[in-house]
Structure 1
């Protein structure tokens, strides 16, 4: 099937041709016709499946087909709203809108925090057809009376699962209360949890449901490998791998912001160019780091899970889990950034004894064992004992212990914090029972 067969308008087909695409991905084959019909959509798609074009292209098609009713000064109202969890993802989605809509007479803008409001206000006053925004800044503008979204025709909630993980459920509900009831709504999520289904019930009206990849599947083109190593030799091992194998464009994941900073400083001391992106970095610094990384000017980008959401780089060859995530699904999100578009990718995990329980749960989720390879000179101490992992106010128990496997055995469930507050006070995904790995963790303690 080609994009022409999907019935997209000629200006869009020209833009698609300009960027060198000719065959739609599975999510695009299903989502584009569904959105063009005008109904609501609940779509399950992992990172890297082409989902952004899956909603941007038919959105542009529909807006082009029915020109806006402009005001007396010829300005267009905001007709489409795309809500994303992070600044980086918002910027990339809006870039896609501009790339695919470059032959269409539609305007767009991106809106997020961390930068001044006045330039955004000025753009809104000139009229914008398509707005891509993060929840907090959108609500700031609405409360100040600088944004009118009462004439939204199409509303997209992108990466809804991550929205919930980041604690945006209350902001989302506020947005739903101010957008028109009579609109087309599209919800995209990597997973269909109970929380996502509840949100879909609130937002969507008789939606078509599509899911193009098996939930939490990993891309077959990705070579996955574990390097066992002692906790205090991880930095040294990472530098050794980068230098000895001449790696470039390496995306490295850490759990916490301060850990990302320390690792970045170490790599730069080793003459390996590295920068960190996380919530404490200014938007200017984050944008520059990402741009330099994409161009190949920066060898290593060190990121936290939240900050990395939305990083979309073709042919990214290496993803390294410097620290394993305590939520197994996050492993799938992380490594899904390599091995895209038929390219071979490599996902390396540096695993110490403290994280063996995390690794067991990851292997259970992906339904396969990951190959282990001890790097000469970096064999871990066989007598090492697992220690609790401190992440800010949380204590994670990721080591294998007798009688409990990866879930912590006796005592506190793995992934809970000692002296934790009741689940209801810990954000939207408190998971207070601890029945699943990482229970009690998803509502807080994440680096943003």
Structure 2
């Protein structure tokens, strides 16, 4: 019989078995402590290297034009102005990143920031293979900076072509005495020729039997003095409506001491395309009737304090409390601006019976300009844009049928500030002018 290869089972003392278990457990604890200390040491060293790498990358990545365009931070891009790009410094970053990537697969331990090697390598790939000098880099960045600013700035004109030269204000429409009424001209008109809310407009009307019937609501001729008097007028055609048109016109240098601008500009934006019932389009081909007014030299003497205070509120865009039901509301004071317009030669126009009725009903009827108005305050001028493009469909449609007859009409135009209380009355005229038979087809585009 062959010998047995198995060893006989020997009984083991329980005390010896327990000591052996304690020794094994102690060895495991010591190994864990050693490994954890090594990991912490490695983490600290890698954190330091990562921080140094991040500083280097932030110093070198600022001159990278592609990353600058991708960034949404304006300060980061506009800071690209001076300084030199050092290519050797960028090569150092790439080498360090490759080393870190090979050691830790592109990610540092959890105790540190994410590894920046992938970003730095991507930056290096986006750079051109041919060597660049600091001067060429600055030139390319300046071009990109120009494109960025050009795209972020406000559009000068909505029309395809911006004006090459600023025209002098008031050259397109000449002045003419009101007695001559020459076609294609403008004339002075007396403010007192317009009817406004009189002093007793809110007063109670008394019947002959001494019964209170209601408010008087009687309109009277306006006072003889206006805040602004006409200087000139222009008409410009445009593919799109032009807002704040004073930016593109050479305004006369007039400086009258005071808190009110010396020049008032009224830009009436009139559409020349068909009106749509759903108001889906409120911009397109049209004309801009631009009226220029000069502050009255007797502004502080001839006008009452209440009216001058209203002009200041209009200029400063102040608000006021408006009584209403069930609660009062806060409204801009500029919502009080009111348009007065009329056709002065209705009799000489060949109108049908229906057109005559409409003319008699709506001629010289005041209209609040809100919300189709905009205000622009510039150096020594105030511009008011009246946007007819945004008028209601009914108003647009009526104006559309009348626009071809403008060349036969003498139009009187005025602005006033509506008086909502007894102390605001009588209403005064802000500005007034007459346009004599203006044919818009004879005018050119702005800057052409």
By the TM > 0.5 criterion, same fold?
no
| TM-score, L = length of structure 1 | 0.22
| TM-score, L = length of structure 2 | 0.22
Rg comparison, structure with higher value: 2
Higher strand share: 2
Higher RCO, 1 or 2 (CA under 8 Å, sep at least 6)? Answer: 2
